[in-house]
Chains A and B, each alone.
Chain A
């Protein structure tokens, strides 16, 4: 028996009988695409907008009223973080254009995308938490004339716990979802290259 028999079996399937429900696929595609685009835009937008908003709040008193000039520092840090986030996103888009347009290129692109996501999540502390914490420390401990130590006693640990939980959740997400997914793509790439 040779391969021609297999080819005959394959050719015997009536391709014309296989029909797609094109309208329902098209409808599902349009809906999914719109919801995905919305989600990505909202997520990125909210992160950048939050940093910009916080920056504006820090700048308000020093710029408009000319006091508490020290708040300019966290404002600049927030602005820099927002700019860095925007640049990160743009760099990734540019980099992805350079990948080879083959299945292997798509797999490489997925691995790069996952690496990028993992890195962005791991750096969350630096681009989001640090600017905000810096601002809060300055606002509460340096500028606030009331010196409400009892409030700080509650607020400080509560904030630390929230940040700790956020970081724990991020690491859990990386360990349970992103790293295994990356590993699977790497295995796939190995399957492609091990016979080269």
Chain B
């Protein structure tokens, strides 16, 4: 595949899967500036993954895999930058608030999970089947089921707590 075809393929993916990419970026980066940075990095890794694309794997599964891996690695690099920024007392630029504030709340809670559980939660909320999640992350289906059950319970209890606090 030549670079022009690669560029076209990436353009198609960015168009078709922008919702998925934005969700991953929002879950792993806390402000707009970092999200743009992460999206660029995901774009780069997607571009580089094109020649290795496995035709037996669903396109969205492939994109999830690359995006999550990039986001996890990026988070680790970013934590160092964040520490430096915090020492300089620089305030992060906030995201534009969502019309439904509960969506921002949910992203906040997802961001508090460890990177693997965060990836699991994202795919589960996007309706990906357990089998595909297992294949994407390299876990067993049973393990995915157990972890997702725990995450569901955790998020539900947080929502309960939030509702009680509001009352």
Cβ of A103 < 8 Å from any Cβ of B?
A: yes
Asked if B69 and A6 make an inter-chain contact with CB atoms under 8 angstroms apart, the answer reads no
A19 and B21 alpha carbons, distance in the complex (Å): 10
Q: Contact: B21 with A103, CB < 8 Å? A: no
B117 to chain A, nearest CB (A): 8
* CB atoms of A13 and B100 under 8 A apart: yes
Main secondary structure of the interface of B (DSSP, over half): helix
B129 within 8 A of partner (CB): no
**Interface size, chain A (Cβ < 8 Å):** 41
**Is B103's CB within 8 Å of the partner chain A?**
yes
Residue A94 CB within 8 A of the other chain:
no
Number of interface residues of B (CB under 8 A): 55
Instruction: Judge whether A192 and B103 touch: CB under 8 Å.
Output: no
Dominant secondary structure at the A interface: helix
**Residues of chain A whose beta carbon lies under 8 Å from any beta carbon of chain B:** 1-3, 5-7, 9-10, 12-16, 18-22, 25-26, 28-30, 32-33, 100-107, 110, 181, 184, 188, 191-192, 195-196
CB–CB A30/B138 < 8 A: no
Give complex CA distance A9, B156 in Å.
12
Q: B17: shortest Cβ distance to chain A, in Å?
A: 9
- Give A9 to B39 CA distance when docked, in angstroms: 24
Chain B positions 8 through 48: 1 when the CB is less than 8 Å from some CB of chain A, otherwise 0: 00110011001101110000000000001001100110111
Q: How far is the CA of A189 from the CA of B93 in the complex (A)?
A: 32
A9, B121: Cα distance in complex, Å? 14
Q: Could you tell me if A20 and B138 are in contact, using CB atoms closer than 8 angstroms?
A: no
Asked if B111 is at the interface of the complex by the 8 Å CB criterion, the answer is no
